[in-house]
Amino acid sequence: MARCDVLIVGAGPAGAVAGTILARAGARVCIVDRATFPRDKLCGDTVNPGTVARLQLLDMAGDLSERSLRVCGMLVTGERGVTVEGRYPDGQYGLAILRRDFDWMLLQHAISAGCEFEPCVTVRRAVIDDRGPTRKVCGVISAAPAGEIEWTAPVTIAADGRHSTLAFSLGLARHPSTPRRWAIGAYYENFRPDEMRAPSIFGEMHIRRGRYVGISPLAGGMTNVCLVRPSQPADAELREPAALLDYELARDPFLRERAAGARRLTPPVVLGPLAVDTTGQSIDGLLTAGDASGFIDPMTGDGLGFAIRGAELAAVSALRSLERGWSGVHADLDEERRHLFRGKWRFNRALRALVTSPRAVEVAAIGARLAPGVLRAVIARAGDCHLVRA
């Protein structure tokens, strides 16, 4: 297989953004993915204001606004009719867009920048060179009808998601024992909008005891419905995801009327466990990006923001390693990630802990009425609105 400077495993947002930055810097980049694109992907289908601004800064926003709806803020409801509504400040907005369209748009930027893209490549394992004083990744092995194919590169970036073959097999990532949340998502048509707030569009989070339901209206009259709940792989209810979604919508007083005339357009997709922890280990020759570098169920529409900003850091680290070797590269990348993400990680953990309690949502609603400035600050933080100002 032809040699490249950087081999990226995974053509999602992290892989595409890292590839674009590297190719623009003059690196020879090959991106491989087991899927063909465009492809569907379970997600909340929202991009927050800070991430929109970041893509514009990278000149990767393309026709993003033409394929999406503007999201003006967040709506959170509790079990007993309590509602917390917050708009993004200063007229800022996020976007609701199908991940199928979003990922394909970013990948096209990478290809236009000079990246080679190879679909239908299933990576089995890393190629390890252990002849020196330390082990080093020098490429990957992929499956092929006639055997196996070896892909070689001085830098490999694992951007292959929260079940990363490379990160997990090399001991760089693991699923924590808690929380063990699973997501069940599907697209609907004729799902009635929130008439109290129309024509404004909000990202919706409906917090119920032991679960929450995310709602995202999309262009073309579709609606993304995603249920997130604690579960284990052997959970019998996960074997009937369509019935579980129908049950949750039918029993919810806030959602049942809106869903009454809706028709499911796609079979439900089940994904989990959602959270991914890093182990603190590293190996020369390999960098991680996106969910493969750690994932916290964000609940605030900023999962794509983590992926894109993390991809920028990985791309810069890849360039450093190509220029001067691997000494200090992993330590610098870890420190840059902590500096960039630590505050938001804490914020998301705190918010996730809050919404596990419907009573806490009710208290938050009271606080929002008494101190609306606090709510505005929380919504701005959730939407990474400081990046827009910057």
| pTM for the predicted model, two decimal places | 0.91
What's the pLDDT at 2?
A: 55
Which tens digit of pLDDT belongs to each residue from 294-304? Answer: 876 655 557 88
Nearest by Cα to 168 from 313, 273, 306, 276: 276
Q: CA-based Rg of the chain, rounded to a whole angstrom?
A: 21
pLDDT of residue 322: 97
Contacts of 65 (CB under 8 A, 6+ apart): 95
Residue 80 has a pLDDT of 72
Token output for 313:
């850091």
Prior bond of 273 cis (ω within 30°) = yes
Euclidean distance between CA atoms 169 and 125, whole angstroms: 7
* Rounded CA separation 384/347 (Å): 11
Cα gap 191→222, rounded to integer Å: 8
Q: Could you tell me if 94 and 49 are in contact, meaning their C-beta atoms sit under 8 angstroms apart? A: yes
Q: What is the pLDDT of residue 233?
A: 60
- Residue 99 to residue 11: CA distance in whole angstroms: 12
Task: State the burial class of residue 300 (Cβ atoms within 10 Å of its Cβ: 0-12, 13-18, 19+).
Answer: buried
Q: Which helix (H) or strand (E) holds 109?
A: helix 99-113
Inter-residue contact 157 to 6 (CB < 8 Å) = yes
Tens digits of residue pLDDT in 319-343: 999 999 999 999 999 999 999 888 8
- At residue 124, the pLDDT reads 96
Long-range contacts: 140-143, Cβ < 8 Å, 24+? 140/7, 140/9, 140/32, 140/166, 142/32
Do 182 and 228 meet the contact criterion of CB atoms below 8 Å apart?
yes
Q: pLDDT under 70 in the chain at which residues?
A: 1-2, 179, 232-234, 296-301, 351-375, 389-390
- State the Cα–Cα distance between residues 356 and 351, nearest whole angstrom: 9
Pick from 128, 135, 149, 164: nearest CA to 9: 164
* pLDDT tens digits, 160-201: 998 899 999 999 998 877 767 888 999 999 999 888 887 889
Strand order across the beta sheet in which 136-144 lies: 123-129, 136-144, 147-152
